[in-house]
Structure 1
């Protein structure tokens, strides 16, 4: 079961997030963690209430991770991938048997899903900044997302830029977009449903 998060833990997470953003600005999509309003919007867009397998790319300090865990079924599994070792350490401190915290790159998505012997995901949620990576790297990740998702699976990406929409078009077509203004910076939430 998820444990309660203390105010100090949240503040420590924000401090680590800002420090890591300053060190790796191209790797992290925002200067501060997602707001609770953005977390709620991401969860609502993803439809994870009936998911068995959820994959999160770019888990950061775990705010969205915790929101996913609160919303998904008790028998579901969440694979959260994070490339930053400091953020990964924070993720590993989340006490929930449904969570698999993996240190690694979204470039290796197919291999990591296979490594943990997981079924195809119902939902993939991504906070990695597609705007700061090469077109080929972004396309490779999105091709992996598209091929791994179950029929009728859903991909949700929250981004400052709309570059992910163009990159994802060849794999999942046109998606829906909303914006959460109660976040710094305001964040676009993109949603695609994979055809059966």
Structure 2
């Protein structure tokens, strides 16, 4: 099953509780990189790496309960769009509560990025942000996700991945070239590395 949520909408500034995030971790621990939501310090580091204020089309892979999603929406322009792609039906339902016309909530796999983008008329996004734990994915799946990101980003676009482990660099560097930056955010549980790649004209 995949598609958009049709649930009851609530204020997009409302943050889901750590308890809701922990329940999601217990349901599907292989798809969640942490037992608690991202801290505001990590969110700010991701926002800075993404340059969201200048972006028009943004994709978030593995948004979880939507805490990061709400923060990203606060930094996007009024004519921007944010597409959340979530594999967990539980998290997808929570994301459906975000009441912001710029937000599109899709239940599906990041491996199908091209098809999902086409279905929402969002080809060639400026930024793709991933909270998916690459270290918990089979290598073949992680490689397909990284390749899909490269194939679909606009030229000059950014891929941002925030991760506890370094696996994402070993998978993505051969596909997109060496990462442009990696910043460690210690004010998060667990500490997270924020990686950034650019899609160059030669890619």
Using the size of structure 2 for normalisation, the TM-score is: 0.90
Partner of 1:186: 191
8 Å contact from structure 2 (residues 60, 129) kept in 1:
yes
Q: How many residues in Structure 1 have an aligned counterpart in Structure 2? A: 191
Partner of 2:124: 120
Question: Would you identify which runs of 4 or more consecutive aligned residues in structure 1 move more than 6 Å?
Answer: none
Give, in whole Å, the separation in 1 of the partners of 2:174 and 2:151.
Answer: 12
Structure 1 residue 156 displacement after superposition: 0.2
Structure 1 residue 174 displacement after superposition: 0.9
Answering whether residue 156 of structure 2 is matched by residue 144 of structure 1, we say no
Partner of 1:3: 11
In the alignment, structure 1 segments of 5+ residues that lack a partner are none
Structure 1 residue 138 displacement after superposition: 0.4
8 Å contact from structure 1 (residues 154, 191) kept in 2:
yes
Using the size of structure 1 for normalisation, the TM-score is: 0.93
8 Å contact from structure 2 (residues 12, 97) kept in 1:
no
Give, in whole Å, the separation in 1 of the partners of 2:50 and 2:44.
Answer: 10
Structure 1 residue 119 displacement after superposition: 2.7
In the alignment, structure 2 segments of 5+ residues that lack a partner are 1-9
Structure 1 residue 4 displacement after superposition: 6.0
Give, in whole Å, the separation in 2 of the partners of 1:61 and 1:83.
Answer: 12
Partner of 2:84: 80
Please give the root-mean-square deviation of Cα atoms over the aligned residues, in Å: 1.3
8 Å contact from structure 1 (residues 16, 86) kept in 2:
no
Give, in whole Å, the separation in 2 of the partners of 1:156 and 1:92.
Answer: 23
CA separation of 1:143/1:4 partners in 2, compared to 1, >3 Å: closer, same or farther?
A: closer
List per-residue Cα deviations over 1:65-94 (Å, max 9, x = no partner).
011111111101110011111111111111
Secondary structure of 2:85 counterpart = strand
Secondary structure of 1:26 counterpart = helix
Structure 1 residue 26 displacement after superposition: 1.2
What are the within-5 Å matches in structure 2 for residues 99-138 of structure 1? 99-138=103-142
What are the within-5 Å matches in structure 2 for residues 148-167 of structure 1? 148-167=152-171
Give, in whole Å, the separation in 1 of the partners of 2:40 and 2:94.
Answer: 18
Give, in whole Å, the separation in 1 of the partners of 2:146 and 2:174.
Answer: 9
Structure 1 residue 24 displacement after superposition: 1.6
Give, in whole Å, the separation in 1 of the partners of 2:81 and 2:123.
Answer: 10
8 Å contact from structure 1 (residues 82, 105) kept in 2:
yes
